[in-house]
Amino acid sequence: MTELNADSMHRLAKMALDTGEVASPEEAVALFSRYRLRIYLGQGWASTLAGQACFLTALNTAVRAFLGGVEVCGDLSYVLSVPLYEGRDAQVVAKELGAEISENAVMELPTLVLGNAPEDQLSAFCIQLSWDHWRFEIAPAGEGCGLACTDDNPLAGIGAAALGVNEAFLHVRGDLVEAGHRSVGMSLWSPLAVTDWREDAYKGPALTYLPKSMWLVGLGHLGQAYAWTLGLLPYPADGRPHLVLQDFDRAAESNLSTCLLLWSADLLKPKVRAVASRLEAAGFTTALVERRFGPGHRVMVNEPTSALFGVDNVAARRDLDTAEFSMMVEAGLGSGYRDFRNIRLHTLPGPRRPSDIWTADSVAQAAVGLNDTYIKLANERHDLCGMTLLASRSVATPFVGVLAAVLALSEVIRPLHGGLVHTVLDVPMKSLRHRTGAAPTACQGMQTAFIQAEKQPAGQAREAT
């Protein structure tokens, strides 16, 4: 078996090395291969695009975190309507995304419920995912306190999926005693409403307008979460957005654990081309920029002037000073096993220039410290450089990235509906009630070009065969 290294190591399983609970990368993967999850699909789960987006996101993020497998049971007798999978059979898509389909769920597994909860005995860990307008929530199943799941805003469905998979992961890891026994949620219309986010004042208007074009800078963990989220929004068939996709890197095995639009067949291919092929298959148009983002970046005539930035590089962030985007949302994530769930957003232009937010002093990277596990591995494998490189890689998982994506896209979409933006937003996913940020303000940049969303029927039952 090939030894796991920085380019092949699963980026979430790496946390077991960082904590010192295992002695090798192989043991870390073996540990994570014991983690399993069930998704139960009850009546009504597919009746909205938000519900379909919730299921697809929960499954696609969970299979990359729960290496022991994700079992899906319940009603899969639908043809999907979300753009990325429009016209596809839900059961076929579920298998393609890595699900194990089960008709008789007998094993006790942590369970996420979409739609009506099962009538029989619930698992010890069983939470309901719900959404309404711009709000989303997870809560113990059977308590009857979820949101209505009626208004069709896929951003909220995706947010519910992210919280649900995160809660299940907290449970299997034993990182939070109350995981699965609490209600957690928020409003994307007013993300700083903490104690009263469920009030109707924060549900927001019907999702009516969507970005007509966007520039995605970086197509790693965050960039692909942006693309995935855009691919689940209610764009009309003849009005799918135009995206400029910018990245210079090729897909490595470790990317499969973090990137929602990459699979094993994409290894060694340029990320930008793999992502473009999937978006174009869904009717999107793309332009590819296969070079690093850097100083002197210019937006040409007829190119998108609004951008989502997903490059984890301080020097590149400082170069946003001269990028000439009229609106930019930048997201950054924590990188260690303690803080990888932390999300920080900046909406630009704002009160400070990027070079003032990320100072020249912050460009220099701190030396990588090796814990006892990495030192022992370096000595055993006679590979200090390789183990230092592995130790330097971030702990990362797409259920965090996709929450960052819905937060970022909400900053772009909210002004199209008369809402405000937040120049800074901090969201600790493990303890969502501690989110903070700058007071909302009117968008200082030029409004993003938009197209009207299509309210299309969702959840068409497939014909019996």
CA 259 → CA 21, 65, 255, distances in Å? 26, 11, 6
Q: 397 near 407, Cβ under 8 Å?
A: no
Tell me, yes or no, if the two domains 14-202 and 209-452 fold the same way. Answer: yes
Q: How far is residue 444's CA from residue 433's CA, in Å, rounded to a whole number?
A: 28
pLDDT digits (tens, 9 = 90+) for 168-213: 999 999 999 999 999 999 999 999 999 999 999 999 999 999 999 9
Q: Is the pLDDT of residue 133 over 90?
A: yes
How much helix, strand and coil, in percent to the nearest 5, is found in the chain? 35, 20, 50
Report the alpha-carbon angle 182-188-193, nearest 5.
65
Q: Is the pLDDT of residue 463 over 70?
A: no
Domain ranges (residues) in the chain: 14-202, 209-452
Q: Is the pLDDT of residue 297 over 90?
A: no
Return the CATH architecture of domain 14-202. 3-Layer(aba) Sandwich (3.40)
Q: Which amino acid is at 32?
A: F
Q: 11 near 259, Cβ under 8 Å?
A: no
Q: How far apart are the first and last CA of the chain?
A: 43
55: three-class secondary structure by DSSP: helix
**CATH label, 209-452, candidates 3.30.470.30, 1.20.1250.20, 3.40.50.720, 3.40.50.2000:** 3.40.50.720
Mean pLDDT value of segment 138-158: 89
Q: 360 near 315, Cβ under 8 Å?
A: no
Per-residue confidence band for 1, with pLDDT thresholds at 50, 70 and 90: very low
Q: 67 near 35, Cβ under 8 Å?
A: yes
Residue 118's pLDDT is 82
Query: What is the CB neighbour count within 10 angstroms for residue 96?
Result: 11
Q: Which of 50, 261, 78, 68 is nearest to 168 (CA)?
A: 68
Q: Is the pLDDT of residue 458 over 80?
A: no
Q: How far is residue 318's CA from residue 224's CA, in Å, rounded to a whole number?
A: 22
Q: How far is residue 346's CA from residue 452's CA, in Å, rounded to a whole number?
A: 26
Q: What amino acid positions are annotated as catalytic residues?
A: 385
Mean pLDDT value of segment 366-375: 85
pTM: 0.96
pLDDT digits (tens, 9 = 90+) for 227-286: 999 999 999 999 999 999 999 999 999 999 999 999 999 999 999 999 999 999 999 999
Q: How far is residue 185's CA from residue 160's CA, in Å, rounded to a whole number?
A: 8
Per-residue confidence band for 460, with pLDDT thresholds at 50, 70 and 90: low
Mean pLDDT value of segment 316-343: 94
Q: What letter does residue 304 receive in the DSSP assignment?
A: -
Q: Is the pLDDT of residue 107 over 90?
A: no
Mean pLDDT value of segment 338-347: 96
Q: 243 near 230, Cβ under 8 Å?
A: yes
Q: How far is residue 160's CA from residue 290's CA, in Å, rounded to a whole number?
A: 33
In order, the DSSP letters of 376-411 are HHHHHHT-HHHHHHHHHSPP--HHHHHHHHHHHHHH
CA 53 → CA 93, 162, 347, distances in Å? 12, 11, 25
